[in-house]
Structure 1
Amino acid sequence: MTLRHFLTASALTLVVSAQAIAQGGPPPARVRVDAARMETVEPMRRVTGELVPTRRSSVASKRDAQVIEVLVDRGDTIEAGQIIARLDAELAMIDLQRAEADLKAAEALIAVRKAETLRAERDLARTRVMLQDNAVFQTEVEDRETDFAAAQARLRQAEAEAASSRATVADARKAIEDMVVVAPYTGQVVDKLTEVGQWVREGDGVIEIIEVAPIDAWLDVPEQYLPALRNGSSPTVQILAEATGHTTSGKVTAILAQGDALGRKFPVRVRLENTDGALLPGMSIVGVVPTGGSEEALTIHKDAVLRNAAGAFVYFDGGGVATVAPVEIQYAVGNRFVIRSPMIRPGTSLIIEGNERMYPGQPLMILSGAPENAPAPEAAGT
């Protein structure tokens, strides 16, 4: 909306408002105001970028099997550990039964080998006693020693085979568990890669999922602004999704060492919580980054700012009636915005309470006292 449109609308509304008051119109709106003022702030600059998911995964099948159920579709939000697909476990169940039978046979063989080892040990002990009585030759003792050693070796072999069978059973049980495909983390399904009846092999994708909470904003930052981003610990950067008007902020988590040689810009990553899911991968964004130094700027209280399809605007006290003015928000400083506006000057009284259902030209009753959590007033610059 242009300034001309604002002025025309305001003038017409003032005429209508004056007529309404003369005819006994609605009572004045009870409002609180806060003055626009000049302040010394750290200058900020706007840079462009885009939103990128923090993680993107093709969730794969861990086994060869037929798909019997797919429980999610594109666009679904899923939680970590949620079941997303089931595979046919019939062959895996048969493998488990076979492995368990082999394990029982291996454990029975261990019992046999233990008995054989015990008998060989007893024969060896008896032969050694007989040798002391000169009832047998030394070769008999040596033969019994060989038999005992062989029995011990067969026992160890049986125990190793049983251990292998246990591992096979564990793998068969794990295979059955793997027939249920679950989400590795909370995110959104962006592609379904298989359907019921299809055969998937180990490593084949079932769905593609992205993580959007948190989400990463990658900004192209000119090289001269990088020192301000490196100062201190993880500086905070304001992010605006211009298409939706959604604003948020996050910490700088990385500055890519490789930049654009022509534009002298470097990718900077800002991690955003995005708990409400309003920010989506691929959205174009504007980041407001610190540049260092200081400058004088016109600021207004955040609660004064309203938005509609035409953009941001405010209501101010225009001689006892509500007057509307467009504003261009530059960046936030605490609980205030640095703005540009052809109609707002230092000292202009902006309505910060009672402006939700206000209309231009509405009579005002300005309440005294500062609103709750409001900062102490400062002298306006000139």
Structure 2
Amino acid sequence: LRRAELDRALRDVERYTQLDTRGSASAQEVDTARTAQALAAARLVEAEGSLAQAQARLEASRLRLAEMTILAPFDARVVRKRTEVGQWVAIGAPVADVLALDQLEARLDVPESIAIGLVEQVSLARVRARAAGDEIEGPVVAIMPEVDALSRLVPVRVLIKNESERLRPGMAIVGLVRTGSAEQGLTVSKDAILRDDAGEFLFMEAGGVAVPVRVRTLFALRERVVIQGEIPPGAMIVVGGNERLFPGRPLMDMNASPRREE
């Protein structure tokens, strides 16, 4: 608007100047046009200054907004808020917990005898989620350097793609790791395994009494575990109530047919 006023004032000055040369305009009219031109130029300078100030304030507001806006470093969902509206937050303080579901890291406990043959970024493992029913294969991305002294298991991390987003952190999973060959193994119910300061053991029936047998868990397989131990074929293993047993306590087979006494 101010520039249009200045352009009009310039045209008026030019027109009155031409008229003055032909004697059709007075000197006062020319002076009035030139004064109007000077005022229009001053108003334009003032408007440009105001515009520059407004742009500076806008840039400052944008900068302040950017400083007050916290962006997640990746595409994710907010799963937990750490602040409330109007709360002051210090630099470096957490404001929310975010979670990405497109890729997940599965943590498996692998027997040391199998983990020793795994290679990071080369070996593959399959992860089966019990709740979702999905089975996904992914690379082994990390093999922890420490072995659990009691279980002889090695923590292994597997990166899996969760494109359907059916898997959720915290779900129970079963890990399947290729060993290169099929082997026979001894399995028992996971409820049969007990633990004490010396390690793992279970109670076996021998001669009608409970006999403790030391075992070592290799890995879990659904509701059972693969073990190593001196368990003879056909042995009866105590599953229920074993936490209250002690060596030598009499046992009775609840599935046995009743005997007739004469």
TM-score computed with the length of structure 1 as normaliser: 0.38
Residue 124, structure 1, aligned to residue 9, structure 2? yes
Q: 1:177 to 1:243 in 2, by over 3 A?
A: same
Q: Can you give the 5+ residue segments of structure 1 that lack an aligned partner in the other structure? A: 1-113, 187-213, 255-272, 276-286, 370-382
Q: In structure 2, what is the Cα distance between the partners aligned to 1:224 and 1:293?
A: 20
Q: How far does residue 339 in structure 1 lie from its aligned partner after superposition? A: 1.5
Superposition deviation, residue 307 in structure 1: 0.8
Q: Distance in 2 between matches of 1:140 and 1:311?
A: 108
Structure-2 residue corresponding to 1:358: 245
Deviation at 1:291, TM superposition (A): 1.5
Q: Deviations over 1:170-212 (max 9, x none)?
A: 76795895656512666xxxxxxxxxxxxxxxxxxxxxxxxxx
Question: C-alpha separation between the residues in 2 aligned to 1:167 and 1:327?
Answer: 71
Specify the SS of the correspondent of 1:330. Answer: strand
Number of the residue aligned with 2:215: 327
| Partner Cα separation in structure 2 for residue 220 and residue 146 of structure 1 | 89
Judging changes above 3 Å, is the alpha-carbon distance between structure 1 residues 294 and 236 closer, same or farther for their aligned structure 2 residues? farther
Deviation per CA, 1:106-139, whole angstroms, max 9, x where unpaired? xxxxxxxx9xx499569839948x8599546789
Q: Report what 1:252 is aligned to.
A: 158
> Does the CA contact (< 8 Å) of 1:317 and 1:348 recur in 2?
yes
SS of the equivalent of 1:233 reads strand
2:191 corresponding residue in structure 1: 303
Aligned to 1:233: 136
Contact 1:229 1:289 in 2 (8 A): yes
CA distance in 2, matches of 1:181, 1:323: 58
Q: Determine whether 1:182 maps to 2:93.
A: yes
- The alpha-carbon distance between structure 1 residues 143 and 345, as it changes in their structure 2 partners (threshold 3 A), is farther
- Kept in 2, the 8 Å contact 1:123–1:144? The answer is no
- Alpha-carbon contact 2:204-2:212 (below 8 Å) kept: yes
Alignment-mate amino acid for residue 354 of structure 1: G
2:163 corresponds in structure 1 to none
Amino-acid identity (%): 24
CA shift for structure 1 position 325: 0.4
Q: Which deviations, in whole Å up to 9, do the C-alpha atoms of 1:143-174 show, x marking residues without a partner?
A: 75575355334313312213323544676795
Note the alpha carbon deviations across 1:12-43, whole angstroms, 9 max, x for none.
Answer: xxxxxxxxxxxxxxxxxxxxxxxxxxxxxxxx
**1:210-235 Cα shifts (integer Å, max 9, x gaps):** xxxx8978977545994554898335
For residue 55 of structure 2, give the secondary structure of its aligned residue in structure 1: helix
1:60 equivalent in structure 2? none
Aligned residue runs from structure 1 range 371-382, under 5 A? none
2:205 match: 317
* TM-fit CA distance, 1:304: 0.8
Cα distance change, pair 364–225 in 1 and its aligned pair in 2 (3 A): farther
- Give aligned pairs, total: 197
Instruction: Please state how far the C-alpha of 1:248 moved relative to its aligned partner.
Output: 9.9
Alpha-carbon contact 2:126-2:176 (below 8 Å) kept = no
- Contact 2:107/2:155 (<8 A) preserved: no
Q: 1:159 aligns with which of 40, 43, 51?
A: 51
Change (3 A) 1:185 1:247: farther
Distance in 1 of aligned mates of 2:247 and 2:159: 44
Q: Secondary structure at the match of 1:161?
A: helix
Query: Is the 8 Å Cα contact of residues 304 and 314 (structure 1) preserved in structure 2?
Result: yes
Structure with greater strand percent: 1
Per mean C-alpha deviation after superposition, the further-off stretch among 224-233 and 149-158 is: 224-233
Q: Is the 8 A contact 1:314 1:325 kept in 2?
A: yes
Higher-RCO chain (CA-CA 8 Å, sequence separation at least 6): 1
1: distance between equivalents of 2:126 and 2:61? 55
Q: Which amino acid aligns with 1:124?
A: A
Distance in 2 between the 1:225 and 1:123 partners?
75
